[in-house]
Amino acid sequence: MFAVQSSDLELLQAWQEHDPRLRWRVQFPFMGVPNTESFGVVYFEVEPGDALATHTDSKDEIVILLSGHGEGTVGDETQRLSAGAVVFIPAMVPHGFCNTGTETLRAVGIFAGAMVTSTFAEPVMPLGQRVIGPPLAVHEVR
């Protein structure tokens, strides 16, 4: 069995330089794990007042909010969300999350495939890239 504790993950600090509120932490805990070719997993955290920048992903995604309160935008629809919310995001539809609460927003996303490419309007730092995709493993960036 392969299991991870979110509190044990080494998260990458990510941000976009054009807006100081676009800051989040992220990790892909199952990347490269045997027998996980049919799905991908992302874990992310957003501090109060910050946001995960709007982007598209090449695969369908389901995001589950584990803790916190915020707003999720999928396409042109924005909705208030709290812990326990489950959000479906079709492939290539712009989406993002903003923490409107007072505690860290924590979430896990599950993709319908392991080879996911994410495209942002502005470069994601410290990577300096707008398009982020395989075979990138966040732990390799350190």
In the chain, where the domains are located? 11-141
Dihedral over Cα of 134, 110, 82, 92: its sign: positive
User: Residue 68 and residue 81: Cα distance in Å, rounded?
Assistant: 8
- The CATH code that applies to domain 11-141 is 2.60.120.10
Q: How confident is the model at residue 135 (pLDDT cuts 50, 70, 90)?
A: low
Determine the pLDDT at residue 96. Answer: 98
What does the pLDDT read at residue 48?
Answer: 99
Sorting pLDDT into bands at 50, 70 and 90, what band is 41? very high
**Alpha-carbon distances, residue 106 vs 83, 121, 140 (angstroms):** 8, 23, 22
Task: State the virtual CA torsion across 18, 115, 95, 25 in degrees, nearest 10.
Answer: -50
Closest CA relative to residue 89, chosen from 40, 35, 34: 40
- The set of residues, in sequence order, having a beta carbon less than 8 Å from that of 47 and lying 6+ positions away, is 23, 99, 104, 105
Q: What pLDDT is recorded for position 141? A: 42
